[in-house]
Amino acid sequence: MLEQSRRVAVFSGAGLSAESGVATFRDPGPDALWSRFDPTELASPEGFAADPERVVAWYNWRRGRLAAVQPNPAHRALAAQTRLIQITQNVDSLLEQAGASADRVYHLHGSIMRDRCHNAACDHVETVDLRNPPPLRPCPRCGAYLRPAVVWFGEALPQDVWRQAESLCRQLDCLLVVGTSATVYPAAGLIEIARAAGSRVVVVDPNPGVAGGQADLALAGAAGDVLPALLEGLDLDSGS
Ligand code: OAD
């Protein structure tokens, strides 16, 4: 299917980084973030308004964990496909660390590597040192709080990134979906958008779940096992 496809893109989620030691959100078991923590307290504008220090401390804990991990074979196999666009829900930079060009990685849910001003009218952004992330502090430009540059529940996706991803998904021959529960919208809707426009869908996930139900082919396995074997010898292109 991939060989016969002129235009391919990847749509990934937390499962892509799982084998690097990054916790997913909804896997069964005690390690998944949303079974240990309340997303409305830690990943929403309301949670930030209620206790901004708690929110920043939690993201700084996640940053510390990310500072200690490396890209896994799945990141490397994807990054080696240099003409492929990687649409990801992940806020880590493991695809880029594996060699993917930053302009070919579309971060739908933002980036934990940066802080931005919480004031929508201010565009101040700062890069954060994952090993030594700063505590809650005011924006030097406008005085509002700085916050992780990620998308929270109830917030809109970055519009330019979303438009590019949506437009690409309308033109594909195959969408390769890796490690996502496909339950968080609008991101998960990209699979439906691609299918409706005639794309095939290949899913790589040990528990293909919702995405598997939308797939022409579901490969039930860990991304770090499946992707290097699947992509070896291929030269995939997103055509843009
Ligand atoms: P989830 O935690 O919802 O789903 C993780 C998926 O990865 C599941 O389908 C697992 O079966 C799969 N998985 C686990 N290990 C894997 C492996 N080794 N290889 C391949 N797949 C594996 O994560 P997402 O779908 O990314 O949003 O979650 C979507 C959004 O929900 C996240 O971006 C985040 C979260 O709330 C925000 O923070 C806004």
CB 180 within 8 A of CB 89: yes
75, 109, 118, 124: the catalytic one is 109
pLDDT of residue 69: 98
Best mutation site among 10, 11, 26 for ligand 1, i.e. most ligand atoms within 8 A of its Cβ?
A: 26
Q: Residue of the nearest CA to atom 13 in ligand 1?
A: 15
- Name the stretches of the chain with pLDDT < 70: none
pLDDT of residue 88: 98
Pick the atom of ligand 1 nearest to 24's CA: 2
How far is it, in rounded angstroms, from Cα 117 to Cα 231?
A: 40
pTM for the full predicted model: 0.97
Structure token pair of residue 86: 């990687």
SS3 assignment, position 177: strand
Pocket of ligand 1 (CB under 6 A): 13-15, 18-19, 24-27, 43, 89, 109, 150-151, 179-181, 183-184, 204-207, 209, 222-223
**Which residue, among 96, 95, 70, 103, has the nearest Cα to 178 in the 3D structure?**
95
pLDDT of residue 171: 98
Q: What are the percentages of helix, strand and coil residues in the chain, rounded to 5? A: 35, 20, 50
Vertex 236: Cα angle to 231 and 240 (nearest 5): 150
Element housing 160 (H / E): helix 159-169
Q: 53: left (phi > 0), else alpha (psi -120 to 50), else beta? A: alpha
How far is it, in rounded angstroms, from Cα 223 to Cα 18?
A: 9
Structure token pair of residue 73: 């074979």
Residue with tokens 């806020």: 91
**Which residue, among 207, 217, 229, 213, has the nearest Cα to 175 in the 3D structure?**
217
Structure token pair of residue 89: 């829900």
Pick the atom of ligand 1 nearest to 12's CA: 26
What's the gap in Å between 84 CA and the centre of ligand 1?
21
Pick the atom of ligand 1 nearest to 110's CA: 39
Query: Within a 10 A sphere around the Cβ of 234, how many other Cβ atoms?
Result: 15
pLDDT of residue 31: 87
Query: Within a 10 A sphere around the Cβ of 163, how many other Cβ atoms?
Result: 11
What's the gap in Å between 104 CA and the centre of ligand 1?
21
DSSP string, 117-174: ESSTT---EEE--TTS---S-B-TTTSSBEEEEEPPTTSPPPHHHHHHHHHHHTT-SE
The reply to whether 107 belongs to the active site is no
